[in-house]
Amino acid sequence: MTYDCDVAIIGSGVAGLICGGLLAKKGVKVIICEKHTSPGGNLSSFERKGFIFDTGPHWIIRCGPGELMYNLFDKIGILKELKFIKYNLLPWDLVLPDGEKNILPETRKEFHAYLKDKFPGEANALDKYFDEVDKAGKDTLPKIFSKTVTPLSELEKQEFYRLPAVEYIDQHFTDKNLKLILSYTAYPYARTSMALMAGYWKEVDSQTNYYPVGGMQGVANALAEGFKSLGGELLLKTRVNRILIEKGKAVGIEIAGGKRISSRFVVSNADARLTYLGMIGKDFLPHELIKNLDEWKPEKGAFYVYLGVDMDLKKAGMGKKGIWYIPRYNLFGKVIEGNGEDLLPLPYGLLVTVPSLMDPSIAPPGKHCVLLCSCYVDHDFHNNWQTGPGGRRTPEYRRLKKVVADQFIDYAEKILPGLRKSIVVMDTASPLTYERYTFNYKGSQTGWSWEAETGGKRLDQASCIKNLYLAGHWTAFPGGVAAAALSGMRTAETILSEP
């Protein structure tokens, strides 16, 4: 049988682009269909009045020589198109509810010493805690990012490591400020299991965070260009509606308008529920898979306020690292003081970052891009943000977004007085915005939830349908650019190994 191409890929997120690039390099004929006007999915940026804003990711891990992303860029032949700034991101600095600012040391050892000095009555509990995470950290994240599929380390088989980190912290420490510092510096791992928290501390010591000069879109564009120069075809503004199945095998895709593209393999980089329930249909799926798709929780969405400002933010005390403003004594939903009531979706604090302090090229001279982010926001908040039937954007939706954005700016003013009056340009994104642009279920940032109860669950990349594979964060724990890229690489390798 002759096909239009060897592999049809649905979506040009980082996983789709990496998968396509690696296949094209080996002479495989690949077509990527992307519904949006530009490639990248969550890995993207937009421009307003000369300010470039990254839509989501603040950093990409493992872009240094010899590391995962670097090697993938090298294979696709785009290393020379990219320039990265390495920065120490962790632990995050914090402003606590009592107004105290904590500028935190950047190695695990110094951080441990800093806390013992600040909270001498809890020295033993701190020693025990770091002992545990040291032991566990030896093999969590390295395993997750190894070549083989390792959803979570063996550690999670033990009860201790399945415990949500915030539970451990709440049970073993007394001082409420210490509880906040331990939880938020390790954002967002504190909501997940102790095993992943341990992996986080390992990551702190390796500090392998990078920012791409020019913004995130540059990475997606370079990957797309690399793919095309290797012979791949990228069709933008091309939405895939159906995966074609014949005799139990995927044989191509149908795009909006009804045109069909036949292929020997199909790879879906799109949302997993949409892939299975929307593009295939329950009749072709095993009961267990349908149950998982219904029951597993997606990771929460985000609310971002993008600000272009005319203000000297370095003088105002900002650096390359972001600062968390924590308004309440609340450990990611576990209230430790107060009634925990929140009218607006900011129960877990506001992250304030200024990427233009790292890369001035993304803002007009002397000005800055500021991101105000709340990263754990419900899609369902106020009846799906007061949208109408089918997610229709109503005046109430726009009003609610404005109210929330105003609250974020008020909070940010506590760190950066004068911010509001320096705003030149502003935009906002709710979980529904992310969902609209990327089709990720409920605007999920990283696929399935990180919370301990769902944590580590991922779908298989080889689907239940012959010749159909999945690539992207719904198949790669813990999600994020590097994990998604790794899943794209694994799918490419699997297809290349087929006779």
CB of 43: closest distance to ligand FAD in angstroms?
5
Choosing from 263, 480, 492, 495, the residue that interacts with ligand FAD (CB under 6 A) is 480
Is residue 458 involved in binding ligand FAD (CB under 6 A)? Answer: no
Neighbours of 99 (CB within 10 A): 8
> What residues contact 384, with CB distance under 8 A and at least 6 apart?
391, 432
> What residues contact 198, with CB distance under 8 A and at least 6 apart?
132, 133, 134, 135, 136, 137, 140, 155, 161
Please choose, out of 36-44, 173-181, 189-197, 349-357, the segment that lies near ligand FAD by the rule CB under 6 A: 36-44
Q: Give the separation between CA 371 and CA 358, rounded to whole angstroms.
A: 13
Is residue 456 involved in binding ligand FAD (CB under 6 A)? Answer: no
Please choose, out of 56-64, 162-170, 283-291, 385-393, the segment that lies near ligand FAD by the rule CB under 6 A: 56-64
CB of 15: closest distance to ligand FAD in angstroms?
3
Which residues in the 424-443 window bind ligand FAD by CB under 6 A? 434, 438-440
CB of 477: closest distance to ligand FAD in angstroms?
11
Say how many CA atoms lie within 13 Å of 73 toward its Cβ.
25
- With contact defined as beta carbons under 8 Å apart, do 327 and 95 qualify? no
Choosing from 20, 57, 164, 215, the residue that interacts with ligand FAD (CB under 6 A) is 57
CB of 137: closest distance to ligand FAD in angstroms?
19
- Helices then strands (H, E): number in the chain? 16, 21
Identity of the residue, 60 or 155, whose beta carbon is nearer to ligand FAD in the bound complex: 60
Pairing of strands 101-102, 209-212: unpaired
Identity of the residue, 9 or 409, whose beta carbon is nearer to ligand FAD in the bound complex: 9
- With contact defined as beta carbons under 8 Å apart, do 296 and 454 qualify? yes
- The CA dihedral of 139, 144, 149, 150, to the nearest 10 degrees, is 50
Is residue 188 involved in binding ligand FAD (CB under 6 A)? Answer: no
Please choose, out of 57-65, 139-147, 378-386, 452-460, the segment that lies near ligand FAD by the rule CB under 6 A: 57-65
Closest CA to 474 of 188, 273, 301: 273
Q: Give the separation between CA 495 and CA 499, rounded to whole angstroms.
A: 9
Is residue 479 involved in binding ligand FAD (CB under 6 A)? Answer: yes
Identity of the residue, 94 or 126, whose beta carbon is nearer to ligand FAD in the bound complex: 94
Is residue 217 involved in binding ligand FAD (CB under 6 A)? Answer: no
Sheet with 368-377: list strands edge to edge.
Answer: 101-102, 93-95, 323-325, 350-353, 368-377, 301-309, 423-429
Closest CA to 356 of 369, 366, 345: 369
38 alpha carbon, distance to own chain's centre: 19
Is residue 272 involved in binding ligand FAD (CB under 6 A)? Answer: no
CA R_g for the chain = 22
Choosing from 35, 162, 191, 273, the residue that interacts with ligand FAD (CB under 6 A) is 35
Which residues in the 295-334 window bind ligand FAD by CB under 6 A? 302
Sign of CA dihedral 140, 145, 150, 151: positive
Phi/psi at 359 (5° precision): -130, 90
Identity of the residue, 125 or 240, whose beta carbon is nearer to ligand FAD in the bound complex: 240
CB of 125: closest distance to ligand FAD in angstroms?
30
Choosing from 60, 204, 346, 362, the residue that interacts with ligand FAD (CB under 6 A) is 60
Is residue 140 involved in binding ligand FAD (CB under 6 A)? Answer: no
- With contact defined as beta carbons under 8 Å apart, do 233 and 217 qualify? no
Per DSSP, the three-state class of 93 is strand
Choosing from 7, 12, 94, 195, the residue that interacts with ligand FAD (CB under 6 A) is 12
Say how many CA atoms lie within 13 Å of 20 toward its Cβ.
37
Identity of the residue, 132 or 203, whose beta carbon is nearer to ligand FAD in the bound complex: 203
Is residue 220 involved in binding ligand FAD (CB under 6 A)? Answer: no
Is residue 221 involved in binding ligand FAD (CB under 6 A)? Answer: no
Q: Give the separation between CA 439 and CA 276, rounded to whole angstroms.
A: 13
Is residue 472 involved in binding ligand FAD (CB under 6 A)? Answer: yes
E strand residue ranges, 15-129: 30-33, 45-48, 51-54, 60-61, 84-87, 93-95, 101-102
Task: State the binding string over 224-263 for ligand FAD (x if CB under 6 A, else -).
Answer: ---------------xx-----------------------
CB of 35: closest distance to ligand FAD in angstroms?
4
CB of 127: closest distance to ligand FAD in angstroms?
31
Task: State the binding string over 97-136 for ligand FAD (x if CB under 6 A, else -).
Answer: ----------------------------------------
Binding residues vs ligand FAD (CB under 6 A): 10-16, 33-36, 41-43, 56-60, 239-240, 269-270, 274, 302, 434, 438-440, 445-446, 472-473, 479-482, 484
